[in-house]
Structure 1
Amino acid sequence: MKQLARYLPILDWGRSYSRDTATDDLIAALIVTIMLIPQSLAYALLAGLPPEIGLYASILPLVAYAIFGTSRALAVGPVAVVSLMTASAVGNLAAQGTAEYLGAAIALAFLSGLMLLAMGIFRLGFLANLLSHPVISGFITASGLIIAASQLKHLLGVSASGHNLFEILVALVRALPDINPYTLAVGIPATAFLFWVRKGLKPALVGIGLGPRLADILAKAGPVAAVAVTTLAAVTFSLGDKGVRLIGDIPTGLPMPTLPPFSLDLWTQLAIPALLISVIGFVESVSVAQTLAAKRRQRIVPDQELIGLGASNIASAISGGYPVTGGFARSVVNFDAGARTPAAGAFTAVGIALATVFLTPLLANLPQATLAATIIVAVLSLVDLKALRQVWAYSKSDFAAMAGTILVTLGFGVETGVVTGVGVSIALYLYRNSRPHMAIVGIVPGTEHFRNIKRHAVVTGDSVLSVRVDESLFFANSRYLEDRLLEFVAERPKLQHVVLMCPAVNEIDASALESLEEINRRLSDSSVTFHLSEVKGPVMDRLEGTEFLRHLTGKVFLTQYEAIATLDPETAHLAEARTPRKQTQSGYWIGPQI
């Protein structure tokens, strides 16, 4: 039963489901449904799809995640970044508005779902760690700017397109003479109203005497109010006859089950975009889920999240939708509204289904400018230019990766940007791990602790060199270890022993083992004995199965202090005799370096 519950988390939380929990979930579902209806329509248009596809992608995927997902608050559905990536991927294969375009979007969701499922079954969630947070932040920031710029044409009532920010802005400038004043009269006030709703409506409602909970619900309904008012205005003033683009007729009823087109050529062309969407969607989703889970001292299982998101995407494809993932804004709303279990997502799916059946005829006269305003307000909250300054102050290499991802995404498009981000993340990882931090250490007077000679006042001797390596040893850094260690030895003609401290070494691969053997041989040729200290148990177990320990010229010591006491008792005695000066808050010893 426990094994089955691992793949079906609903069996875990479902056993203790109560009436009070159901009430909280229903209230949260009502709030999220109100928020999700205009967002689903808007994101479908952003993906280049008919608006009803956004509603279809917000029904079965939520049910699938409620069954397979582990987060109690994550709300799955169409999101801005994945919608943009979908438009970028499918737009290269078919023209918008065609059956081929919709079929490719459905195939993209299905293929992404299969990839996520496979990654979850084989527990490959760790692969997402190859994307650094600065790179993800840079990609989302750049995507938010592109999305916002791409929606300006709907606010202005002009035709303008492009695959990157430069092309979009150039097209908008050229289209300025064709601005439709009626569209502008709808789009600008709607955008201003939605910006105000995000920050100002709730305090205003509380100020007139409403309770915080009711004020919060009404504030979340702001986009629905914008939809209702602008739709009424479009009908009253016949804005459609004056050039204002309307949503048009939306099919009524639930989607019929469908299958994606099984074309080897299509799937081959969609493979890389599907993988990128899977990874980006998973990283975004898990980061949100972990943040919300920590607030309630809950936990999520990343590998099971892969299965939950994979099932959601397959469900989206089967119901005629496109790729989905956990959304930041709606998940926070779901959490703040009091969602207790994933059942809140299933209740939201019921609400969306009812809206699809009964409300779609009322949306035919909804101006596209209103949905564009909804998207612009939502995605600009994802733009975090302040992070550039913070990352610059902390790490120049991370800043270079973040800024590079932003510039490439803005200049060359979404797919190129995310591929660049993945490449930069892997390159940074390999670069940092190929040059592990190595420190010559000495004993802190009056203690058995060893610290970096460049940071602390410590005692060292001429006959023993103690070197601490602060990284696991593998193929990428084994040669650096070898060269650096031999460089230290060459600078000390009186040296008799080298002790390599390994408290941070969690693994030694075959390449690093060969380097250790070479270090041992070359030190032996120089009449220097090679020792190890503080080797972890699992690492020692593997070394004991090799010839290395049999050929090692020195010993493996349990502690570094034991090594110094054995190899250089005079230095150990000198350190014991000295009383350390007062230590500062920063951890540095006051007084001259020894």
Structure 2
Amino acid sequence: MPNRDNKDLDMNQKSLIFPDGQTQNIPYIHKIGVPPKPNLLKEFKTIVKETFFPEDPLLSFKDQPKSRKFFLGLQAIFPILEWGRSYNINKFRGDLVAGLTIASLCIPQDIGYSGLAYMKPQYGLYSSVVPPLVYAFMGTSRDIVIGPVSVVSLLLGTLVRREFDPNTDEYLRLIFTATFFAGVTQATLGVLRLGFLIDFLSHAAVVGFMGGAAICIALQQLKGFLGISPIHFTKETNIISVLKSVFKSAHNGWINWQTIVIGASFLAFLLVAKYIGKKNKKLFWVPAIAPLISVILSTFFVYITHADDEGVAIVGKIDKRINPPSIDKIYFSGENLVKGIRIGIEAGMIALTEAVAIGRTFASMKDYKVDGNKEMVALGTMNVVGSMTSCYVATGSFSRSAVNYMAGCHTAVSNIVMSIVVLLSIKFLTPFLHYTPNAIISSIIISAVIGLIDIDAAVLIWKIDKFDFVACMGAFLGVIFKSVETGLLVAVVISFAKILLQVTRPRTAILGKIPMSGVYRNIEQYPEASKIPGVLIVRVDSAVYFSNSNYIKERILRWLTEEEENDDLQATKIHFLIVELSPVTDIDMSGIHAFEELYQNLQKKDVQLVLANPGQQVLDKLYASGFPDLIGENKIFLTVADAVHTCSPNLNHEV
């Protein structure tokens, strides 16, 4: 047995001749296997499957009878058929309590959010009746609460008001048209499994956009909070225009002090309630019912004191009808159709981003899975149906979803309970809201949107990634100093700019050997890592495409020049350049041409090019192009350690 081992060792020895004439016997080095010929059709199918169908939606349909396939098909469209089979009275108790709790929160919020969209109060309430019912049957999140939200309401109102006056029938028609196409956009993304597109809007940009929108929303509420008449208040949303309008109103005496007293008193009450709920999680119901209590108390106060006769603005009459049909008001032709599509896409994407983020957040907290594509179909369907039943764009609300979660909801039945309560409120309670002061609605919205300003997240973004912070602040400043859509545009542009910068200017690093190991790491990250005499090891930390291939080639040559200038002082010359390719996930023809040019440049310098650990995708393309024949197949190694063993004659091999 020992003789056999020695024989194997001898057979695996080989002699290497180096440029300086030295020879050395080294152990056998593992070689990279020659890949099989690539199958273009198979490769294309793999890419499509991983992009659009990472989990095969038809897997559960295999080998099933037709009746079973039909039921599974319905179950895929309506997940309630799946989880509804295990529903029981204990779960219903939790959902009932949660539904009643979020209903008490959403009624006053819906009235206020409809004002952000420059619509009558009943439209906000309508949007918490039909969309939640549709979502409950089609959605996959157990915790998300559906209805109007502040940011989308402000965005929709801002965009549509630029086309028509809010008091016209055309304004309402364009709102419903935009809602219809917002739903079509969302559902299309889900059906075509294009949900990954919303990931192009970075988290940092969303944080900045939401924070800026929250400030704009709060500024817009100064009109109701200070009792300023709409004719004296600016139609712009930026901070400069709003503050000018406020100062002008104060100077001319257009502010109502009774309104300020009412608004400030109840805003303080709401903030104290929110603080109590934040300090003690068991008292989550305190901030949840505080808005409804504020509405009841303030309405009663205005009614008995006749404060509306003293200039305190009130909500006024709310239509008692339950979701009248509106399909005849949607534009399906003409120039307003194009406007509706454009506004709908913008509002739909923002609504989708917010809903998916909320759904994922609570799903991770309860350790269950949310199907992103089914969520998009559900959100899209509910908005399409909503546009036909007098609703405007609805999505997931973070504040209401948080209350729903803490109230102990188990399933989307809490949305059904909330929807029924809101429906009954429209039918029987709206006459009591006639004397509700606008200042209370403004106070409720201000207290709600404060949570959208996430300073801790902005500070963390600054610590982690300065470019991300630029995207965050760009979106934030764009919203508060220009407009909501400008901030959104800035957020998207900066997010794409970051992607382009990372793609066109990828990182590279010089590697050194960690002492007493065969591991090679970035010498800047590991100062104890030592360079190998006569060998330069460079790692490329990106796929190599036409967009960055020339930069990578030039960067590697600059590394080589810098090393040679340093080595001239030590009378050591670089003989081998090892390029570590493990982070390189792909390469195109431009990338291969760049490596060919790199090889030619190295030949002039009498430096040999060696590749280490290329992935299968990269190796397939290198062999298809004939690149290994150019540099020699014995110049491609499994690991950096193997390449160094081969290239460095003076390396002291450590165990």
Question: What is the TM-score normalised by the length of structure 1?
Answer: 0.90
User: Could you report, residue by residue, the CA deviation over 1:191-247 in whole angstroms, capped at 9, with x for unpaired residues?
Assistant: 1111112123797xx9xxxxx86x543542111111111111121112222222211
- Partner Cα distance (2:459, 2:411) in 1: 38
1:333 pairs with 403, 408, 414, which one? Answer: 403
Instruction: Specify every segment of 5 or more residues in structure 2 that has no aligned partner in the other structure, as ranges.
Output: 1-68, 565-572
Displacement of 1:281 in angstroms is: 2.1
Q: 2:577 aligned with 1:503, yes or no?
A: no
Q: Deviations over 1:54-98 (max 9, x none)?
A: 011111111222222221101111111111101111011111122
In the TM superposition, 1:60-459 aligns within 5 A as: 60-159=130-229, 160-161=233-234, 162-176=236-250, 177-200=253-276, 215-259=283-327, 260-454=330-524, 455-459=526-530
Return the match for 1:560 from 640, 651, 654: 640
Task: Tell me, yes or no, if structure 1 residue 474 matches structure 2 residue 550.
Answer: no
Say which is worse superposed, 336-345 or 299-308, in terms of deviation: 299-308
User: How far does residue 386 in structure 1 lie from its aligned partner after superposition?
Assistant: 4.5
Alignment partners' CA distance in 2, 1:531 and 1:8: 56
In structure 2, the CA distance between the partners of 1:48 and 1:506, relative to structure 1 (3 Å rule), is same
Tell me the SS of whatever aligns to 1:460: coil
Task: Tell me, in whole angstroms, the C-alpha distance in 2 between the residues paired with 1:416 and 1:291.
Answer: 27
Contact kept in structure 2, 1:443 and 1:575, CA below 8 Å: no
- What is the root-mean-square deviation of aligned Cα atoms in Å? 2.2
* Whole-Å separation in 1 of the counterparts to 2:412 and 2:131: 12
Give the equivalent residue in structure 2 for 1:580: none
Greater Cα offset, 175-184 or 165-174:
175-184
- Aligned partners of 2:270 and 2:287 also within 8 Å: no
Shift of residue 306 of structure 1?
A: 1.8
Letter in 1 for 2:431: P
Match of 2:654, as an amino acid?
A: E
Q: Aligned pair in 2 of structure 1 residues 195, 522: CA closer, same or farther (>3 Å)?
A: same
Q: Give the paired residue count.
A: 567
Report the counterpart of residue 490 of structure 1 in structure 2: 561
Q: CA deviation at 1:550?
A: 4.2
Q: For residues 254-303 of structure 1, give each alpha carbon's deviation from its aligned partner in whole angstroms, at most 9, with x where no partner exists.
A: 11232222234223224443333223222222222222111111121222
Aligned to 1:512, what secondary structure does the other structure show?
Answer: helix
3-state secondary structure, aligned to 2:579: strand
SS in 2 for 1:261: coil
Aligned partner of 1:516 among 591, 595, 598? 595
2-structure distance, mates of 1:376, 1:412: 20
Deviations, residues 494-538 of structure 1 (Å, cap 9, x unaligned): 333322212222222443333233323433454433332222234
In 2, the alpha carbon distance for the partners of 1:441 and 1:202 equals 49
Corresponding residue of 2:50: none
Do residues 460 (structure 1) and 540 (structure 2) align? no
Q: Which residue is 1:592 aligned to? A: none
Instruction: Give 1:9's aligned amino acid.
Output: P
> Which consecutive unaligned segments of at least 5 residues does structure 1 have?
207-211, 578-594
The percentage of aligned residue pairs carrying the same residue is 32
The AA in structure 1 aligned to 2:426 is T
Q: How far is the alpha carbon of 1:305 from its aligned partner?
A: 2.1
Are the equivalent residues in 2 in contact too, given 1:194–1:377 (CA < 8 A)? yes
Q: In the alignment, is residue 531 of structure 1 matched against residue 610 of structure 2?
A: yes
How far residue 120 of structure 1 moved from its aligned partner, in angstroms, is 1.4
Which letter does structure 2 place at the counterpart of 1:277? A
Q: CA separation in 2, counterparts of 1:388 and 1:377? A: 20
CA gap of 1:458–1:197, structure 2 versus 1, over 3 A, is closer
Q: Is the 8 A contact 1:529 1:553 kept in 2?
A: no
- CA distance in 1 between partners of 2:548 and 2:159 (Å): 37
Answer whether contact 1:503 1:534 (CA < 8 A) is retained: yes
Structure whose CA Rg is larger: 2
Give the secondary-structure state (helix, strand or coil) at the position aligned to 2:537: strand
Moved more, 2-11 or 297-306: 2-11
Change (3 A) 1:308 1:542: farther
Q: Classify the secondary structure of the residue corresponding to 1:94.
A: coil
Going from structure 1 to structure 2, the CA distance change for 1:67 and 1:514 (only over 3 Å counts) comes to farther
